[in-house]
Structure 1
Amino acid sequence: MAQPAESTFPQRQTDAASARVPRPARPVRPGPPPGPRVTVSVAGDGRAWGDWIADRLERHGLRAPLHHWDPPAAMELRAALAGLTLSGGRVLLVFSAGYFQPGVRTGREWDAALAAVTAAHPGRFAAVSVTDPGNLPRGATALGPAQLTEAGAHHAERLLLRRLGLPDTPAPGTGGPRFPLDAPDVWGGVPRRNPRFTGRAALLARIHRRLAGSVRGAAVCTLLGMAGVGKTQLAAEYVHRFATEYDVVWWIAAGTGEEARRQLAGLATELGIRSGTGTAERLRAVMDALRRGEPYHRWLLVLDGADDPEAVAGLLPSGSGHVLITSRNRSWDTYNTLLLPVPVLDRPESIAFVRRRAPRLDAAEAGRLAAALEDLPLLLDQTAGWLNDSDMSVGSYLRLLEGGIGDARTVVAEDFPMTFAAAWTALLDRIAETAPDAGELLRLCAVLAPGTVPVTLLGRIRGDFAPLTGDPRRLQDALRLLARYSVVDAMETADGTEITGVHLHRMVRLLVREGVPAPERERYERAVRGALAAADPGRPDDPADWPAYAALLPHLLPSGALEADPEETARPVLNCLRYAYLAGIQDTGLALARRADRTWRLLLPEDHPRRLDLLHAHANLLRATGQYAACEELDRAALERLLGRRSTPDSDILRAATALAADLRGLARLQEALELSRYVLDGSRQTFGEGDARTLAAQNNTAVSLRLLGAYDEALDLDLRTLRARRRLLGPGHPWTLYSELHYATDLRLTGRTEAALELQERTVRSHHRVLGADHPQSLRAGHGLALCRRGAGQGERARQGMERLLERAVRLLGRRDPLTLMTAAGFCCLERESGDPERALATAELTYTGYRELLGPAHPYTVGSDANHALALLAAGDRAAALGSLSRALLAMEAAVGPSHPWALDLAHNTRSTEADLPPYQLRDFEPLTI
C-alpha cells in the first residue's frame, strides 16, 4: 500500500500542544521552611548532576524539584522550554551532551528557541554546563552557563550559587549524593562511556527501579536479548549514569566460568582483603565481604556476556548490593533473577542514533536505514559509521544490502567489542554442532521472509525435513532452544505452553542464509515452496482467508517461487496477487507482479494460460492505482491477440474485454467502455448463464458504464437486479454483494431518492466495517458515499466531519495521489466550503485539481470537474472574477470531454450562468467524481 506523501491536504488550525509541565522527581529535603523555587531541568545523561545540584540548593533553603528533560521529537522546542516556566520560580538548565537531543534537534533550532524563550521570560532562566563547551550551541553559550566540571565539589558549588545570584559559601554538613566527578572508591573493568548512546530512558529507569526496590540479597537483574541489541551498552550506560549511588563498581567479562571467577577474585585486592594466593580462596573472601557489606555495602557487580548460566550462577553474591547480568540465554529465569528483555531501539531512537553517528544523513534517510536494519543498535552503528565516511547514498546502500550481507560493508565501531557477523557466527556454529534440529530449523527460517514466521507454516514443510517438522513436540523443542539463546523472538500462547510464531531479525536471516551453499539452499527452498503451496487456501476472494494470504505472500520471493517451474508455484503466486488486489495492498501486489512478469517471460510462451492469468492480475493492480493508459496498452494487445486466434468469445476473451472496458472507463472513453461492457454482458450470458457470478460481474460493470454516462435510471435498474442476484448467490456479507449495495445506494442518491440512499448507505457502512475492516479501500468508498448522502439529507456538518476523517485515513493508507484519495478530497473540499473554512476548502481544491491533472491529464473530466470545484472555492473566498473565468474554461473542456448533454456538462453550464448572474453560492452544483 502506498505510503502517505510528506505534504498532505491542509489541516484545520488548532492550538499548539501544551508544553510539558515539570514535576518533582524526588522529595524535598527536610529542613528549614521552603524558600524560593528553582526547577532543575536535567537530561538522562546528567541525572547524577541533577541530584547533586538539587541537594546543594536545598541545603541553601531553596525548593529544587527535578524536571526530566526529554520532550518528544514532534514537540516544538520553544513550547517545551516555555513549559518549564509554568510551575513558577526560576529555571536552571543543566546542559549535558544529551540535553540538546543530538540527532533530533539542530543547533539552529536551539539558538532560535533559547533566544525566543529567554527574551519572553527575562530573568527566569539560568544555566550550568557539565559537558565540553564545544558541545554547546551558540544560543546556550549566550546564557553564560557556569562550567561545573573544571574543579572539585566546593568550587563547583560556588559557581552554581553565583550563577543563581546566591551567596557562594558552600553549605555545611556531610552526606547527600556524591559529587559526580568523584568516582566510586572501587572502579574496575567498566567500559568507557559511549558518547553516542541514545534513548533507552524508560528501560534505564526500569532497571534502576527494579534494583533499588528489591529486597536485600535479591537485587539481581538480567538484561536479555540477541547479539547486537545493545545489552552491554545499556549496562555500561547504567553504570555511568548511576555510579554516584555506589561505592564499588566491578565489571566482569563472563563469557566463560573460569574467566569470570578469576576476575571476581581480582576484586579482593581492591577491597583490601588479605587471603591466600589461590583463586578459590580469594573468591570465597570476596563473596563473603560483599555479603556482609564490609568494607562497602553499596556495590554493583556486572556480569557481561553470561550466556552459560550454569558456569557463572555460583558467582552471584547476596547482600546489600546489586548484580546486573547481560545474556542471550533465557535460562537465567530459573536462577532467581529478574529478566528484562532488551528490545531493538524505538524508531525515533534509531533515527537519532544514526544521525549522531552519521550527521550527513537527514531524518528521512536515517529512517529508511533504521527500517532496513530493523533498529538493531550494533548494525546501525557500524553501517551509519561507514556511510558517514563514504559518498554512497542510503538508497544505493540498501540496494547493495538486497544482494546479501556479504556485499554490504560495515566498519567496526570502537564502542562495540566485536562486529555483528563475528558476534553471531560463533553462536550459530555452536548451535549447529550441539543442536542439529535447531540448526536445521534456523536454515529453513532463513529461506522464508524476514520477520514473523508462523509455526503452522513450518509444520507444513515435508520432504527431507518431515521427521523434524512433522513431529510437533520435536519442532517445539527446537524452537524453544532458538528462543532460549535469543536467536529468534518467540510468540507463545497465553498459557506459555506452545510457540505459535518466531521472529528472525533481517540481518540474522541474511547471515544464516549466506552460510548455506547454493546447491544445499535449493533443497531448503524446494521444501519451503511445497509448504507454501500446501498453505494456499485457494479462495483469495473470501475475506475469511485473507489472513492466510497475508502470511503466505511475503515468503514467495525468498523461497524462489518465481524462479521455479510455474506449474509448481503459479497457483499460490496468482492467488496472492488476487488477494493483494482485493485487499487493497496494490503496491505490494505490483512489486510481485512485475517480478513474476520478468521471470515468466523467460519460462513460458506468450499465450500460455498462466501468462494470461498474470497479465490480468497485473492490469487489475495497475488500474487500482490509476495507471489506466498502461493498463489499456496491456489489455488491448492481449484482447487483439486472443481475437485473432479464436472465432467465438470464451472465458479468456471475455476476461480481457472486461479489463479493457475498465481501462476505457478510467480514460473517460465512456461510450467505447459501454459498448464493450455490453459485449461482455451478452457474451457472459451466452457462455456462463444468467445467474453465474461472472455474468453478474459483467452486469455490474455495465451499470458502472451507464452511470458514468449519466444514465442514472438505467444504472439503478441494472444495479438492483445485480444486488438481488448476488444476495441469493453469494450471500449478503460477500464483498461483491456489498459492492453492489454501494452502487445501488449511489444510484438512489443520484436519482433523488436521498432518504432511501441514506438508510441503505448507513447499513452498508456497518457491514463493510464488519466484513472488511474500516481501513479497506471499499470501506472508505462506503464512508465516502455515506457522507454525500448525509449532505443531501441536510446534515452538512456531520457530513463534513465524516469526510474529513475519511480523507485523513485515505492519505495515511493510500497516499495523496491515489484515485480514491482524490475522490474523497473532492468531496471534502465542497463540504468544507459549505460548512467549514473557505480558505482551507480553497487550498484542498487546489491540491485536488493538481492531483487529478498529474494522474489523469488536463482533459480528463475528473480534472476538469475538480477545476470547476476550485472555481466554486474561489467564489466562496470572494474572487468572483477568477471563479467565472475558471468556470467558463471548465465548461468548454467538459463539453468536449463528455458532450453538452451529459449531467456533468449541464451542471457546469448551470454554475457558469448562476455565477454570471451573481446568484447565491448555495444554488451552485459541485462536480462529483464517481467510482470508475
Structure 2
Amino acid sequence: MQGSARVTPPQAEDRRITISHAGYNRAWAVWIADRLERYGWQVAFQRFDLPSGTPVHEALNDLLLVQGRILVVLSDWYFKLGPRTDQEWNEALRAVVAPNSARFRAVSVSTAPMPTASAAFGGTTELWGLGAREAERRLAQLVGVIEARDPALDTLSGARSPRFPMELPRVWGGVPRRNTRFTGRERLLQAIHDQVQGAEPGAGVVTLLGLSGVGKTQVAAEYVWRFSSAYDLVWWVPADQRGTLRQRLAELAPALDLTTGHEYGERLRAVGDALRRGDPHSRWLVVLDGADRPDTIDDLVPAGPGHVLITSQNREWGAYNNTHLLSVPVYDREESVAFVRRRAPRIGGQDANLLAEALGDLPLALDQTAGWLSDSTMTVQEYVGLLRDDEDIEAGLRVAVDFDVTYPTTFSIMLNKLREAVPEAVELLRLCAFFAPGAIPVQLLRDIPTEHLPEQLSGMMSDPLRWNTATNKLVQYSVIQWDPPNTDENPEAAGTIHLHRMVHKTVRSGMSEADREVFSRAVRRGLANADPAVPSDTRHWARYARIVPHLDASGALHSRHGEMHRLIANCLRYLYLAGEYTAGIQLAERTERAWREVYGDGHELLRELASQHATLLRATGEYARTERINRGLLQRLERENAGDALEVLRVLEGLGADLRGLGRYEEALEASERVLAGRVQMIGEEDFRTLNSRNNLAVTLRLLGRYKDALREDRRTLQVRREVLRARNSSTLSSETNHAIDLRLLGRYAEAQSVQEPNVEMQRVVMGPDHPQTLGAELNLALCLLRSGEREVANERLADLLERAERVLGEVSPATQRIAVCYAFVLRAHGRLDLARAIGERVVDRYRAALGPDHPYTIGTLANHALLLRAAGEREEALALNEQCLIRITEALGPDHPWRLGVALNLSADRNLAGDVESAADLSRDTARRAAAHRSLGRDHPLTLSCKVAHATDLRNLRQRADADRTEQEALSGLISSLGSQHVHTVSARARVRPFWDFEPQLT
C-alpha cells in the first residue's frame, strides 16, 4: 500500500470501542484513540487498575460490561499491576477472553514477554518500535477497517493531535529517565492533568508538596513521560538554587532556535518572552524540581499558555503565581507492596507487606532497600530484625511521625552491602556528600586535582569503565540519579548527579572527622579550580551559579586557605553584580559567622567581608546600617593602625555611598573626592577601582544638582571603560546610562534618548531583562520618552517596569521605589488620580519610614503628592503641604538646588490659585533668576524656561502685561531654540498652560 488510507467507517452500531490500558501507557491509549476517532469510531477509556484483593478474572469480566469492542493496550505494566503471576493471568484469559474473543483486540507496546494465553485476544498486533505511519496501518487492519487511497486523510495531519508515543517533543531537556518501576499515584497524576488542563492561560501551575523522600520528583517525572504527547516543549530544571535555575532557563534559548548572543541575560529575556507569547511553542511544560525557596525564585517561574509543575517541601507556594497545591503522601500499603514486588521480584506479598510496614511506606527507603535486597541473600525477616536490633547506627532523621525506623538505619545497612560489592561507588558517594544536595555538575568533580582525591577515586575519575561501574551501581540502588551530558544544550556539560537530601545527610553523618576533612578538602580544591576569577564578566556568571550552592557543604566558609577566601569574595562580587542581593547578603552573613569562629574578631578578612556585606545591604536600601558598619571599620583601622591606604580608601568609598543614600550629599562629595584623588595617585587613572571612584563622584555631583560636572566625569569614565573594559562590559553599560541621565537632566532630551535606546537593548542582552541595572536603564529611557512627549509609551513602559521590579526586587527596594515615584506622577498626568494617589502615598510612607521625614526623597515625594492634591481639587491642602516642602527642601539642600527650584515652581502656582498673586510673582521671579544663574541649568534649561513661563502668568495676573509678554516671548524663544517648536513643552507654553515640576529620585 502506498499513500494514505481511506477507511470505510464501521456501521453505527459497531462504532463503539473501549481502550483498556495501564496508566503507565496512557500516551499510547491517547494516540490510538485519536487515530480511531479519525476513522469514525466512538472511543472511551478505561484505565486498568487491579487492586491487590481483586481476582484477575473479575476485573476482566468487568470489561465485558462496556458496549462495543474492547481494545487492550498490552505491556508488562498491564499484566503485573498488583502484581500477578503469569499463571493467574493465563487462567483468567482462558476463562474470560477466549470465549469472547470476537469483542477483544489487543496491541502490544512493550518488548517484555506476555503471558502465553494472550493469544486468546481476537487479534494482536505489535506497535512498539514502529514509525507512526506503519503503526497506524497496523491499527487500522486490527480493527477491521477497509483501506483505500485517499490523500485527504493524511495520517500525520492535525497540529493539535497527540504525538506518536515513540517520538519525544520537539524540545526536550533535562528530564530524568523514566522510572520503569514507577508504581501507583494514578489519582494524583490525573489530578495534576485535570488541574493544568482546566486552568486559565497563565494559571496552569501545580506545586507538588510532600516530605523528603516521598517521591515528589518521581511523580513529576512520570507526569512528564505519561503526558508528554500533549506538549511540544518539555524542560526540566533543578530549582533549589536561583543561579542554577537562571542558567538552565537560559539554556532553553538555543533549544528554541532563538536568535541571541552567548550572554545568559539575553537568553533569559528571549526565553521568557517566547514562553509568554507561546512562540514557537504554546504547548509547553516546565518542571521546577526542588523549589523550596519560593521567595527567591518566584520571579523566574515562567508565565504564558503552557504549564508549570513545581516540586517542593514549602507550603508557601500557595501564595504565589496562582499555583494549585497537591500533596504527595507516602504510598498506601497496596502501592508499597506492588512497588516492592516490581523492584525485587523474589520478595513475596507477605514479605513485601512486612518491609513496607517497617519502612513506613516511604518510597525512597523502599526503593533503595528493595533494590539491594533483590541482589542479596538476606531475607526480609532478617533485614527487619537488623533494623530493630542495630543500636550502633546514629538515630538520625525521622521522616514522618508514624515512621518507626530512622532512615539512616535503613540506608546504612544497604551502604555496607554496597561497600562490599563496589567500594569505589561508596567513595564516590562520600565525595558527592561534600557538595550540596540536589544537582551536582560532574564538571565540578572533574575540576578536583587528582592529588587531592582519595586514593580509590584518583584513578576512577580518568577511567571511564570504573566511573561507569560506580555510577551505574549507585543508580541501580537508587542512591543517586544520573543525567548524562547533553552537548546540544551545553557543549561544556559533563552530566549531572542528583543526590537526595536524605542520602546526603545520612552519608555525611556516618563519616569520621578525619574522612570528612579529606573529602571536604578535595571538593574545596575542585571549587577553587572552577573559579573563573573574573566575577565582573557576565559570560562567567553561569559558572559562578554552579559554584555558589556548594560553598557551605564543602566547608569553604570555615577554610583557612587563601584560595577559599578569594573564591568566596569572587562569589559575593558575582552575586552583587548579578543583582542577587538577598542571596549575597545571606552568604556574607554565613561567612562572617564562620570566620569569627575560625579567626575571632578583628581579623583583616572580616574587614574586607564587612565592606562586601555593606555593599549588598546598601543595594537593598539599608543605608543607616551600612554607615554604622563603615564608620566602625574606619575607626578600627585608625585605632589599630591596621590596613594600608587602599583599604582605607575602600572603606571610605563605601561610607560615601552610605552618605549619598542618607541624603547627606556634601559629606558624600568630600568622601568621593578624597577617594578619587587617592586612587589616582596610588594606582593610576585606568585602574577599575579608580574608574569606580570617578563614577561615584559623578553620582554625588548629580545628586547635588551639578549636572554639567557630573556629565564631565561620566564622559571621562565612559571613554576609559570603553577602551579598557570594552563596550559590552557591565560597568561600561552602566556608564552609558549615567551619561544619558546627565544629558536628560540637562534638558538635552533627544541626545539622551539616542544614547539610552541602544544601551537598553544591550543591557537586556548582557545583563538580562530583569537585572537591576537593566531596570534602571529602562527607567531612564521611559523618562526620556516622557520628556520628548511620548507620554502613552512612557506610561506603558513604567507600568511594566514597576510590575517587574516588584516581582524581582520586592516592593521596598530602592530601584522599585524610584520606578514607583515616576509611574505615580505619569498616572497623575493621565488623570488616573486614585491609582496615582495610592502608589504615591505608599512611596511617601516607605521613604519616611526608611529615611526619615527630612530626607530629600521624602520631601520630594511629598511635593509630588501636593501636585496630586491640587489636581484632585484639594487646593488648600496642596498649598499648605508645598509651603512646608519648600522650607524643608531649602534647609536640606540650600536655596539653589534644582529640586528646591522645582518645589518653588509648583508652590508659586499654588499661591496664584489661592489668590496670593503678588507672593506668587515674587516667588516665580526669584526662582527664574536662581535657575538662570545656576551653574548647571542656565538661561536655556527647560526648568529655567518653565519658571519664566510661570512668572509671565503671575505678571499677567498683576496686569503687568508688557513685562508678561516680554518674559513669555523670551521663554518661548528659548524653548523653540532648545527643544523645537512642536515639542510638548513648547506647545504647552504657547497655550499658556502653567508648567509644573515632578520630583524624580536619582540612583545613589
Q: Report the TM-score when normalising by structure 1.
A: 0.62
Residues 297/537 of structure 1: CA separation in 2 closer, same or farther (3 Å cut): same
* Cα contact 1:590–1:618 (8 A) shared by 2: yes
Equivalent residue runs for 1:67-216 within 5 Å: 206=27, 208-209=29-30
The answer to whether 1:930 aligns with 2:751 is no
- Which residue identity does 1:466 align to in structure 2? S
**1:455 pairs with one of 442, 447, 454:** 442
Count residues in correspondence: 669
Could you tell me which residue of structure 2 aligns to residue 372 of structure 1? 313
Could you tell me which residue of structure 2 aligns to residue 283 of structure 1? none
1:612 deviation in Å?
A: 2.1
**1:263 pairs with one of 55, 79, 85:** 85
**1:627 pairs with one of 622, 631, 641:** 622
* Cα contact 2:52–2:83 (8 A) shared by 1: no
Provide the C-alpha distance between the structure 1 equivalents of 2:331 and 2:664, rounded to a whole number of angstroms: 52
Identity %: 35
The answer to whether 1:711 aligns with 2:710 is no
- Which residue identity does 1:460 align to in structure 2? D
Equivalent residue runs for 1:37-436 within 5 Å: 206=27, 208-209=29-30, 263-271=85-93, 297=104, 348-350=205-207, 371-372=312-313, 380-382=328-330, 406-407=396-397, 409-411=399-401, 434-436=421-423
Q: Can you list the C-alpha shifts for 1:431-483, whole angstroms capped at 9, x where unaligned?
A: 55544444433333332123322221121234112222233564456445655
Could you list the runs of 5+ residues in structure 2 that have no partner in the other structure?
1-8, 37-47, 129-174, 182-187, 197-203, 215-290, 296-309, 318-323, 333-393, 914-949, 951-991
Equivalent residue runs for 1:712-727 within 5 Å: 712-727=707-722
The answer to whether 1:671 aligns with 2:661 is no
Q: Can you list the C-alpha shifts for 1:489-536, whole angstroms capped at 9, x where unaligned?
A: 515325799852233344444444445455433332221111111111
- Which residue identity does 1:660 align to in structure 2? L
Could you tell me which residue of structure 1 aligns to residue 430 of structure 2? 443
1:622 deviation in Å?
A: 0.7
The answer to whether 1:806 aligns with 2:816 is no
Provide the C-alpha distance between the structure 1 equivalents of 2:763 and 2:51, rounded to a whole number of angstroms: 47
* Cα contact 1:670–1:708 (8 A) shared by 2: yes
- Which residue identity does 2:555 align to in structure 1? G
Residues 577/298 of structure 1: CA separation in 2 closer, same or farther (3 Å cut): same
Residues 502/873 of structure 1: CA separation in 2 closer, same or farther (3 Å cut): farther
Provide the C-alpha distance between the structure 1 equivalents of 2:605 and 2:294, rounded to a whole number of angstroms: 39
1:675 deviation in Å?
A: 0.6
Provide the C-alpha distance between the structure 2 equivalents of 1:665 and 1:234, rounded to a whole number of angstroms: 71
* Cα contact 1:726–1:736 (8 A) shared by 2: yes
- Which residue identity does 1:263 align to in structure 2? T
Provide the C-alpha distance between the structure 1 equivalents of 2:905 and 2:750, rounded to a whole number of angstroms: 25
Could you tell me which residue of structure 2 aligns to residue 529 of structure 1? 524
Q: Can you list the C-alpha shifts for 1:553-601, whole angstroms capped at 9, x where unaligned?
A: 0110111211232535211111101111111001001111001111111
Could you tell me which residue of structure 2 aligns to residue 770 of structure 1? 765
- Which residue identity does 2:737 align to in structure 1? L
- Which residue identity does 2:431 align to in structure 1? L
1:604 deviation in Å?
A: 2.1
The answer to whether 1:816 aligns with 2:811 is yes
* Cα contact 1:543–1:771 (8 A) shared by 2: yes
Could you tell me which residue of structure 2 aligns to residue 492 of structure 1? 485
**1:652 pairs with one of 637, 647, 652:** 647
**2:597 pairs with one of 597, 602, 611:** 602
Residues 585/755 of structure 1: CA separation in 2 closer, same or farther (3 Å cut): same
- Which residue identity does 1:469 align to in structure 2? M
1:684 deviation in Å?
A: 1.1
Residues 832/559 of structure 1: CA separation in 2 closer, same or farther (3 Å cut): same
SS at the partner of 2:312?
A: helix
- Which residue identity does 2:525 align to in structure 1? G
1:857 deviation in Å?
A: 2.7
More RCO (CA 8 Å, sep 6+): 1
Could you tell me which residue of structure 1 aligns to residue 269 of structure 2? none
SS at the partner of 2:558?
A: coil
Provide the C-alpha distance between the structure 1 equivalents of 2:597 and 2:685, rounded to a whole number of angstroms: 40
Could you tell me which residue of structure 2 aligns to residue 846 of structure 1? 841
Could you tell me which residue of structure 1 aligns to residue 539 of structure 2? 544
1:606 deviation in Å?
A: 4.2
**1:578 pairs with one of 552, 555, 573:** 573
Q: Can you list the C-alpha shifts for 1:612-634, whole angstroms capped at 9, x where unaligned?
A: 22111111111111111111111
The answer to whether 1:466 aligns with 2:451 is no
SS at the partner of 2:557?
A: coil
- Which residue identity does 1:797 align to in structure 2? E
Provide the C-alpha distance between the structure 2 equivalents of 1:437 and 1:350, rounded to a whole number of angstroms: 37
Is the deviation greater in 732-741 or in 816-825?
732-741
SS at the partner of 1:924?
A: coil
Is the deviation greater in 772-781 or in 829-838?
829-838
1:817 deviation in Å?
A: 0.6
SS at the partner of 1:839?
A: helix
* Cα contact 2:209–2:328 (8 A) shared by 1: no
* Cα contact 1:849–1:863 (8 A) shared by 2: yes
- Which residue identity does 1:381 align to in structure 2? P
Provide the C-alpha distance between the structure 2 equivalents of 1:709 and 1:747, rounded to a whole number of angstroms: 12
1:798 deviation in Å?
A: 1.0
Provide the C-alpha distance between the structure 1 equivalents of 2:72 and 2:513, rounded to a whole number of angstroms: 47
The answer to whether 1:889 aligns with 2:884 is yes
SS at the partner of 1:452?
A: strand
- Which residue identity does 2:542 align to in structure 1? P
Provide the C-alpha distance between the structure 1 equivalents of 2:644 and 2:796, rounded to a whole number of angstroms: 48
Residues 474/352 of structure 1: CA separation in 2 closer, same or farther (3 Å cut): closer
Residues 260/806 of structure 1: CA separation in 2 closer, same or farther (3 Å cut): closer
- Which residue identity does 1:931 align to in structure 2? L
Residues 910/541 of structure 1: CA separation in 2 closer, same or farther (3 Å cut): same
Is the deviation greater in 666-675 or in 760-769?
760-769
Is the deviation greater in 497-506 or in 521-530?
497-506
1:379 deviation in Å?
A: 8.7
Is the deviation greater in 426-435 or in 598-607?
426-435
The answer to whether 1:614 aligns with 2:625 is no
Q: Can you list the C-alpha shifts for 1:142-175, whole angstroms capped at 9, x where unaligned?
A: xxxxxxxxxxxxxxxxxxxxxxxxxxxxxxx999
Residues 696/516 of structure 1: CA separation in 2 closer, same or farther (3 Å cut): same
SS at the partner of 1:442?
A: helix
Provide the C-alpha distance between the structure 1 equivalents of 2:314 and 2:465, rounded to a whole number of angstroms: 33
* Cα contact 1:483–1:489 (8 A) shared by 2: yes
Could you tell me which residue of structure 2 aligns to residue 337 of structure 1? none
* Cα contact 1:489–1:504 (8 A) shared by 2: no
Provide the C-alpha distance between the structure 2 equivalents of 1:737 and 1:407, rounded to a whole number of angstroms: 51
* Cα contact 1:733–1:771 (8 A) shared by 2: yes
Could you tell me which residue of structure 1 aligns to residue 678 of structure 2? 683
Structural RMSD (CA): 5.2
1:921 deviation in Å?
A: 8.0
1:744 deviation in Å?
A: 1.4
Could you tell me which residue of structure 1 aligns to residue 784 of structure 2? 789
